[in-house]
C-alpha cells in the first residue's frame, strides 16, 4: 500500500472507502507501472516503442539518459532494465538515490535550488555538450525538476531560492512561478534542448502541473517556450517581488526561440493527475458512489477550496474528486502544506456523514506528511484536546493540528509526482 498508516486511519467504513479510493489514485501514477505500460524495446530489431511512436536505436552511436525530479530515479531504473546495456551513460538528480548501472545518481534538494543542484546540473550538461547528431539523449522530466535542474543565467542558488520563496509566500501559482524561473535560467524553457542539440532527444514527462501544460513541468527544459521576458516581469510586478527582496532588478534572459533546437526533440506525456482521477473514479463507482468531478484543474487558495468542496457534497452516496494545485498565503509561523490546509479549512463545515481526504501525490505536503483526512471524528478529537481550528489555520500550522489529532497521512516519498488530489465522500 502507498498509505503506510492506512489501517490506523481506517477507523470507519467511510474512512476505509476514502483511503481505498486514494490507493487507486496512487497506483495509477506509479512510475514503474506507467513506463512498463507505455515503453517497449525489441532488442533483436533494436526498436524502441513509446506509446505509438517507434525509434530505431540502431541509428544512434551513443545513447545517454538524464533525469531530474521526484520520478527520475525510479524511471531511470526501469528504463535501464528495459533497454539493457544500450544506455552508455546517465545522470539522475532526485530526492532519493541508489545504484543503477552506468548512471551517476545524485540527491538534490527541493523545493529550493541549492549550490549542489547547480553543480550536478553543470556536471551532466558538460557531457551532453559533447554529443553529436548521431547520438540520442533520453530525458526524464518530472515534478520537482524546477528546483533540482538549475543553471542560473545570473545570480546564485540563494537568489533563486529567495525569488521562489517570495513568489510562494505571495500566493503565485505554478505557471507564474515557472514563467519567472524560465527567464532566470539557462536550462529551463527549452534551454536543455539547446544544450542537447544537435543530438536527438526523447523526453519522457511526468506531469505535476494542473491542466498538463508540459511546457511548465519542471519549467519545460525540452519544450519551446511561448513566454517572454515581458511575461516574467509582469509576474514580478504583480507580486511586488523587487520590493519584497529589496533589490533594484532581476537579470532575466530570453529562452531559446530557434526552431532548430527543437527539431530533433520528441516529447511524451507518460503520467498526469488525470490518470489518478480516472482510477479513483472507477474505484469509487465500484464502491457504490455516484462520482462527480469537482475539477480536473483546481486552483485557488487552499483555505477557500476546502469549504467549497464540502458545500458541493450534497447528495447521498456521492463522491467528489479533484486534481490540481492550490496555493497558500503564508502569514503564520506553523508547518504544513496546501493539502493539509485545505482539509483543515474544511473541517468546521464537515458533517457526520461526510469525509475529506486531501493528498500530495509525491507524498510530501511541505512536511513529512502527504496530507490529511478530516471528518467528524477529527472534530471530536480536536474538541477533546481543546484545539482551536481557527488559530491553527491562522498560523498556517495544519501539520501541527493533524499531528495532534493523529489524522495526518503518511506515504513516504512515492517516486511519483502528478499534482495533488482530493476525495470527498458523503454516506
What string of DSSP letters covers 274-330?
HHHHHHHHHHHHHTTPEEEEEEEEE-SBHHHHHHHHHHH--STTEEEEEEE--B---
Cβ burial of 32 (10 Å; 0-12, 13-18, 19+) is middle
What number of helices (H) and strands (E) belong to the chain? Answer: 17, 15
Residue of 68, 164, 177 whose CA lies nearest to 113: 164
- Mean predicted lDDT score pLDDT of the chain: 96
CA gap 35, 83 in Å, rounded: 12
Domain 31-271 in CATH 3.40.50.10180: yes
pLDDT at 155: 81
The string of pLDDT tens digits covering residues 98-140 is: 999 999 999 999 999 999 999 999 999 998 988 999 999 999 9
Cis status, amide bond into 219, omega within 30 of 0? no
The string of pLDDT tens digits covering residues 30-54 is: 999 999 999 999 999 999 999 999 9
Q: Averaged over 163-168, what is the pLDDT?
A: 94
**pLDDT surpasses 80 at 210:** no
Q: Averaged over 53-70, what is the pLDDT?
A: 97
The angle at the Cα of 277, spanning 272 to 278, to the nearest 5 degrees, equals: 100
**Residue 173 grid coordinates:** 501559482
Contact 359, 339 (CB under 8 A): yes
pLDDT at 307: 98
CATH code, 6-28+274-426? 3.40.1480.10
Three-state DSSP class for 57? helix
pTM of the predicted protein model: 0.90
Residue of 12, 14, 18 whose CA lies nearest to 3: 18
The string of pLDDT tens digits covering residues 225-250 is: 999 999 999 999 999 999 999 998 99
Cα distance between the two ends of the chain = 24
pLDDT at 43: 96
Residue ranges of the domains in the chain?
6-28+274-426, 31-271
Amino acid at each position: 500500500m502507498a498509505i503506510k498508516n492506512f489501517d490506523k486511519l481506517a477507523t470507519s467504513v467511510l474512512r476505509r472507502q476514502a483511503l481505498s479510493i486514494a490507493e487507486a489514485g496512487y497506483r495509477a501514477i506509479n512510475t514503474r507501472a506507467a513506463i512498463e505500460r507505455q515503453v517497449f524495446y525489441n532488442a533483436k530489431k533494436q526498436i524502441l516503442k513509446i506509446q505509438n511512436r517507434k525509434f530505431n536505436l540502431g541509428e544512434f552511436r551513443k545513447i545517454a539518459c538524464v533525469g531530474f525530479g521526484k520520478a527520475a530515479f525510479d524511471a531511470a531504473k526501469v528504463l535501464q532494465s528495459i533497454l539493457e546495456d544500450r544506455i552508455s551513460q546517465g545522470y539522475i538528480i532526485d530526492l532519493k538515490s541508489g545504484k543503477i548501472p552506468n548512471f551517476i545518481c545524485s540527491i538534490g534538494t527541493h523545493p529550493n535550488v541549492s549550490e549542489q543542484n547547480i553543480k550536478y546540473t553543470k556536471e551532466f550538461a558538460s557531457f551532453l555538450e559533447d554529443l553529436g547528431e548521431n547520438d540520442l539523449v533520453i530525458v526524464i522530466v518530472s515534478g520537482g525538476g524546477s528546483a533540482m535542474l538549475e543553471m542560473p543565467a545570473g545570480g546564485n542558488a540563494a537568489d533563486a531560492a529567495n525569488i521562489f520563496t517570495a513568489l510562494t509566500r505571495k500566493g503565485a501559482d505554478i505557471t507564474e512561478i515557472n514563467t519567472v524561473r524560465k527567464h532566470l535560467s539557462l536550462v529551463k524553457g527549452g534551454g536543455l534542448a539547446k544544450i542537447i542539440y544537435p543530438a536527438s532527444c526523447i523526453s519522457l514527462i511526468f506531469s505535476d502541473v494542473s491542466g498538463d501544460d508540459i511546457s511548465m513541468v519542471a519549467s519545460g527544459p525540452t519544450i519551446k517556450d511561448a513566454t517572454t521576458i515581458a511575461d516574467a516581469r509582469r509576474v514580478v510586478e504583480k507580486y511586488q517581488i523587487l520590493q519584497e527582496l529589496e533589490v533594484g532588478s532581476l537579470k532575466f534572459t530570453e529562452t531559446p526561440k530557434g526552431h532548430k533546437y527543437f527539431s530533433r526533440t520528441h516529447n511524451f506525456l507518460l503520467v498526469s493527475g488525470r490518470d489518478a482521477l480516472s482510477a479513483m473514479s472507477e474505484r469509487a463507482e465500484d464502491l457504490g458512489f455516484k462520482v462527480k468531478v469537482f475539477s480536473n484543474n483546481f486552483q485557488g487558495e487552499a483555505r477557500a477550496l476546502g469549504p467549497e468542496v464540502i458545500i458541493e457534497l450534497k447528495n447521498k452516496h456521492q463522491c467528489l474528486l479533484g486534481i490540481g494545485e492550490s496555493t497558500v498565503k503564508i502569514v503564520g509561523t506553523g508547518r504544513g502544506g496546501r493539502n493539509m490546509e485545505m482539509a483543515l479549512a474544511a473541517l468546521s463545515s464537515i458533517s457526520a456523514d461526510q469525509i475529506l481526504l486531501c493528498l500530495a501525490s509525491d507524498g510530501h505536503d511541505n512536511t513529512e506528511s502527504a496530507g490529511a483526512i478530516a471528518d467528524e471524528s477529527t472534530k471530536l478529537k480536536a474538541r477533546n484536546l481543546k484545539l482551536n481550528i481557527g488559530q491553527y489555520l491562522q498560523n498556517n500550522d495544519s501539520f501541527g493540528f493533524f499531528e495532534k489529532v493523529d489524522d495526518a497521512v503518511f506515504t513516504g516519498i512515492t517516486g511519483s509526482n502528478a499534482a495533488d488530489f482530493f476525495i470527498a465522500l458523503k454516506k
